[in-house]
Amino acid sequence: MKNILKLILATVLTLVICEVSLRLVDHYARKSAPGNEKGEGIQSQAMKSFLQDKINRLWVRGRDARHHFFEPPFDVFVNKDFHNQSRLDFIHNYVSLPKNINTTVENFLRLNDQKQNETFTVTSNNLGFRGSRNIPIEKKADTFRIVLLGSYPAFGHAVNDDETYASILENSLNQHFKGKKNIEIWNGGKQGATSIMGYSRLKKDALSLRPDLIIWDFGWIELYLGRDMVKQDGKRVELKNLNWFERQVIRKCVNTILEPLALCKFSLNKMTKVSYSDAIDGWKESMTLLREWAKENKIPVVFLRHRGVTIPNQEYTAFDAPKERMYFVDTSASLDPAPTTEEKNLFWGKVNWLSELHHTREEVEKSDEKLIFLGDAIQYNKLGYKRIGLYLADWFIKKDLQF
């Protein structure tokens, strides 16, 4: 009996030491880290105070517990096994939006203490692209067709259909080329999408759409996934199955009072994320295959990187090859001009994610005024998407769409 008590005490003491150590490491790491991504900035505070834990809970809960299609857990796939055709065929079942829908949903990334300004409307056409137009696949002679494939920013998380950067870009180009060219942008963005999902759709669908250009907007969540998670035969299936012990840890850390423990957060991170090197390698492979597809089919590609993407800029620039008609655009520059008074007033004129967290306009302007281009601590809002759309329109106009 004494030995059992000693074992229990030793186990508890070990767990306490681990918990204290992890909290100390996290505390000093945050103090020494620069900027908003890892340091003490407003974005980082929001992530650490509520958002990361909320995301963890949403992603590990059951599919039947979510309120709508546009809320986690999503169908996601790790970038691996690109040459496995049966895997690509399976993934293709999950690459598009539900067809012919019109629904209003909440932004799950908000604190949700307030109920103002948190909903957005999503419409899809008969092919599962975002937008209400059922555009015929047959393309007119004066039409320049762009197919956009991507993740959260391409989809336009938390904004209405006409506020996505795809919509802003299309309208701007049509206004500029009025009477000369008709520009169509088919928005194939989807929340939670990874580049292997885009590649599956590219191989199977793209040529039948007769695109003149592909916009490739992946890289947003590539470094955050550790396993495929899909719904098959009415059940949530993990293609890389967790063992019994891992499942129990996740269940206890998400559904009990243990959730705030640093040990829980550390364990969830280790069990649900792929290694950095593997994630980067998978993303690079997708970019290489994209380049090969573009060359083979003689279709130019513009690939994007946004502020907030954790894949370093130099990884993107390595694939910039104008002679091969592979063009890299970093949209971070679209936010460089300081926010205008009009933009500031639009943001602060209603309840927003910063006011929900009790930050004032004066405080934010001193800390990081670009935060007003976000609709929450992670994704853009309509002000940010408008900046991106107009920036891309200017880039396209300078190219005169003559690739």
Quick one: pLDDT at residue 244? Answer: 67
Q: What angle do CA 324, 136, 183 make, to 5 degrees?
A: 50
Contacts of 195 (CB under 8 A, 6+ apart): 79, 216, 218, 219, 222, 282, 283, 286, 287, 290
Q: What is the pLDDT of residue 68?
A: 86
SS3 122: strand
Cα–Cα distance, 292 to 282 (Å, whole number): 16
The pLDDT of residue 163: 98
Question: DSSP string of 263-284?
Answer: HHHHHHHHHH---HHHHHHHHH
Cβ 309 vs Cβ 380: under 8 Å: no
Confidence at residue 262, expressed as pLDDT on a 0 to 100 scale = 76
pLDDT value, residue 383: 98
C-alpha–C-alpha distance, residues 370 and 388, integer Å: 13
CB atoms under 10 Å from CB of 139, counted, come to: 16
Element (H, E) at 103: strand 102-106
DSSP-assigned beta bridge partners for residue 10: none
Report how far residue 258's alpha carbon sits from residue 57's, in angstroms, rounded to the nearest whole number: 13
User: What's the CA gap between 93 and 294, in Å, rounded?
Assistant: 23
- How many whole angstroms separate alpha carbon 48 and alpha carbon 222? 21
Element (H, E) at 200: helix 195-205
Sequence-separated (6 or more) residues with CB below 8 Å from residue 226: 78, 240, 271, 272, 273, 274
Residue 279 burial (CB count, 10 A): 23
| Residue 182: strand pairing partners | 143
Task: Report yes or no: 183 and 170 within 8 Å, Cβ to Cβ.
Answer: yes
* Domains recognised in the chain with CATH numbers: 75-226+274-399 (3.40.50.1110)
Helix (H) or strand (E) holding 187: strand 182-189
Instruction: Give this prediction's pTM.
Output: 0.86
Predicted confidence at residue 220, as pLDDT, reads 94
In a structure prediction context, what are the per-residue pLDDT tens digits for the chain, which is 403 residues long? 677 776 667 666 766 676 666 566 665 554 443 333 445 689 988 988 889 888 877 887 766 778 889 999 898 999 999 999 999 999 999 999 999 999 999 999 998 765 555 789 999 999 999 998 887 888 889 999 999 999 999 999 999 999 999 999 999 999 999 988 999 999 999 999 999 999 999 999 999 999 999 999 999 999 888 778 876 554 555 444 566 677 677 767 766 766 677 777 776 666 666 678 889 999 999 999 999 999 999 999 999 999 999 999 999 999 999 999 999 999 999 999 999 999 999 999 999 999 999 999 999 999 999 999 999 999 999 999 999 999 999 999 998 767 5
DSSP E strand stretches across 294-340 = 301-305, 326-330
pLDDT, position 91:
94
What CA–CA distances, in Å, run from 173 to 180, 208, 257, 384, 401? 11, 24, 53, 18, 10
